[in-house]
């Protein structure tokens, strides 16, 4: 349950947003010194739901093969809306890769498109209800 410890202070009326970006592979996402498996993530989400740690949870996951963390695993009966940068068998793609300094890609298409779209002002509209 490490990583979800902050949810223990939330309650049944809270709306939670989780954004994770790093490396991934089929069935796992990577941290600098650890990994999180599909089972561990979904166990934590199910535990948090059962223990009323949120009313709704939105999870944006940017990593290669990130869809494998939710596909055919996340139950439709809990209020978790999960969006992944890739399906369970494909890479997440970099963008802003060409630059004068020879730096690696400066973003990922998933996050860059989401953030650039969020920059557009749309008054009076809710995007995730």
Tell me the two tokens of residue 37.
Answer: 């498996």
Name the active-site residue from 9, 23, 97, 105.
23
Rounded CA-CA distance 102/10 in Å is 43
23 in catalytic set: yes
Of all helices (H) and strands (E), which one includes residue 18?
A: strand 15-21
Distance CA 39, CA 70 (A): 10
CA distance 98 to 105: 7
Distance CA 10, CA 62 (A): 24
64 counts as catalytic: yes
Report the Cα–Cα distance between both ends of the chain, in Å, rounded.
27
Catalytic, out of 9, 64, 97, 105: 64
Report, as residue numbers or ranges, the catalytic residues.
23, 64
């Amino acid at each position: 349950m490490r990583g979800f410890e902050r949810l223990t202070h939330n309650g049944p009326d809270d709306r939670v947003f989780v954004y994770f970006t790093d490396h991934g592979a089929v069935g796992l996402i990577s941290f600098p010194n650890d990994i999180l498996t599909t089972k561990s993530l979904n166990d934590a989400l199910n535990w948090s739901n059962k223990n009323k740690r949120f009313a709704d949870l939105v999870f944006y996951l940017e990593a290669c093969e990130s869809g494998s963390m939710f596909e055919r695993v996340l139950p439709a009966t809990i209020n978790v809306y999960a969006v992944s940068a890739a399906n369970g068998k494909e890479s997440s793609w970099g963008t802003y890769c060409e630059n004068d300094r020879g730096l690696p890609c400066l973003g990922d298409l998933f996050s860059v498109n989401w953030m650039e779209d969020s920059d557009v002002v749309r008054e009076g509209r809710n995007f995730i209800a």
